[in-house]
Amino acid sequence: MSTTTLPAVHVAAAEQAARRRTFAVISHPDAGKSTLTEALALHARAITEAGAVHGKTGRRSVASDWMEMERSRGISVTSAVLQFAYRDCVLNLLDTPGHADFSEDTYRVLAAVDCAIMLVDAAKGLEEQTRKLFDVCRHRGIPVITFVNKWDRPGRDALELLDEIEREFRLKPTPVTWPVGIAGHLRGLMDVRHPDRMLRYTRAPGGAHAALEETITADQAADQEGADWSQAVEEVELLGADAAVHEADSFLAGRSTPVFFGAAMPNIGVRLLLDAVVDLAPPPAARPLETGGDRPVDAPFSGLVFKVQANMDPSHRDRIAFLRVCSGVFRRGMTVTRAASGKPFSTKYAHSVFGQDRSMVETAYPGDVVGLVNAASLRVGDTLYAERPAEFPGMPTFAPEHFAVVRPVDIGRSKQFRRGIAQLDEEGVVQVLASDLRGEQAPVLAAVGPMQFDVVIHRMEGEFAAPVRLEPLPYRLARLTDASGGEALNRSRIVRGESLVRSRDKAVLALFPDRWQANSFQRAFPDALLEHLIAAHDGVV
């Protein structure tokens, strides 16, 4: 059917979707992810001055790290959304937590993007979390652009890094830019598509502003940079002979990754990376449905809730559900249906989000992220739709490995305590487990990593005025069971462990100190249900 016969709203959705690029920045901790996020926004002129996680005294913090805990510790512990225009496109950039303890939040974000920028530290190469995230992107079919960061500091050989990517991920690295000068002695960059020139940079003081970029000819580069330029030319010719050349089909199919070199802190090579997002990254496309088939971008409105966050604005104390628009046109005030319940949901309060800042949004298109304010009924993984029913696959819940009883410090703040714990559970900050034996004033918190507990302590005191204390439990393993299996575990005198009910979905979890105790229970009660949960360290969703 030609677009001339389609309703105008469908044409608008398809045309606007083609202008969208929705992508995540992912990496191992300390690879410079939040700094790169800020640098990308700076080059798009969405902000006038870049912050840095570990910047100089007096330099402002990054826009994507809006929590006080993030700013004081210099780490990202929650995902953030930045939307801005660049060239003729609208970019939706989703920053993610780098720390492995917050893997669940990162994986939820990856369900909402069409592409990912993977940051690799020039000195450290492929670290543990980098490997996991590459695997997740491959599993989800998300094409990956690689940015080798911190080339202004001593590091490894560029060709060695490419060999490591190809060897470990069976992914062909195809450099688009190439460093002139070894790591720690960066003289400039060569765009391999234009090998007759070199880009040279003059850093802005402190890296708060975009570095001055100057283009010089190959003859000038040879004259001024000598052996560094000659080596870069030889390496690029070697890569060409090895067929390490970017091909769109191979990239989109997940068989290759275009590679860029630079340094996010001084904003070197960032413009070229930003151009690559527009030129290489795919726009929103049809998304698979839970029941089979796809939802095309020009279908009636549908969207996926991939994150819920409370108290982003301390002066409002509200709750925002982040919705990725998957198809059709979103209009503020429209009434949509929540697939999980079949009940209508009003979208009267809808915002466009930039870090912690937000503004009212009237219209959004496939690829855009909308913040639905005071969406108390929405949960992570919910699908909203209009006209034609749709439901997207839900979000995975990972196997917790750390457990602690949480209690209010002040029993007089019990109401605030219960409200705060319920909110953190709904957001997915931690899993909340309960049992009749412990009671609602002593729930058990279950986490992938111990830093999640630090977030709970910080937010319970700062946001809910209900300080808490934690009492660690001796469990490190969780298995899914049922009511009869839970009863068997609780009455067993052979095995150390206990069963608890997950508040969010009423699933029964069997907790054990170690794998040996779990195996002993299975031998003692062979008919008891004991299923593995998805492990965050497996990198599988």
Is 99 among the annotated ligand-binding positions? Answer: yes
The full length of the chain comes to 541
Q: Which residues contact 526 (CB under 8 A, 6 or more apart)?
A: none
Is 275 among the annotated ligand-binding positions? Answer: no
Q: 18 is written with which tokens?
A: 């083609």
Handedness of CA 217, 219, 224, 229 (dihedral sign): positive
CA–CA distances in Å: residue 458 to residues 310, 341, 342, 463:
14, 33, 36, 8
Cα 311 from Cα 356, distance rounded (Å): 10
Cα 530 from Cα 509, distance rounded (Å): 9
CA–CA distances in Å: residue 428 to residues 170, 309, 375, 382, 398:
33, 9, 15, 13, 11
Are residues 204 and 211 in contact, defined by beta-carbon separation less than 8 angstroms?
yes
Are residues 374 and 348 in contact, defined by beta-carbon separation less than 8 angstroms?
no
273-293 in b/e burial notation, b at 16+ Cβ within 10 A?
A: bbbbbeebbbbbeebebeeee
Is 96 among the annotated ligand-binding positions? Answer: yes
Cα 69 from Cα 309, distance rounded (Å): 15
Is 157 among the annotated ligand-binding positions? Answer: no
Amino acid at 406: V
Return the C-alpha torsion angle 482, 483, 485, 491, nearest 10. Answer: 160
Are residues 259 and 174 in contact, defined by beta-carbon separation less than 8 angstroms?
yes
Is 240 among the annotated ligand-binding positions? Answer: no
Binding-site sequence positions for GTP: 95-99
Binding-site sequence positions: 95-99
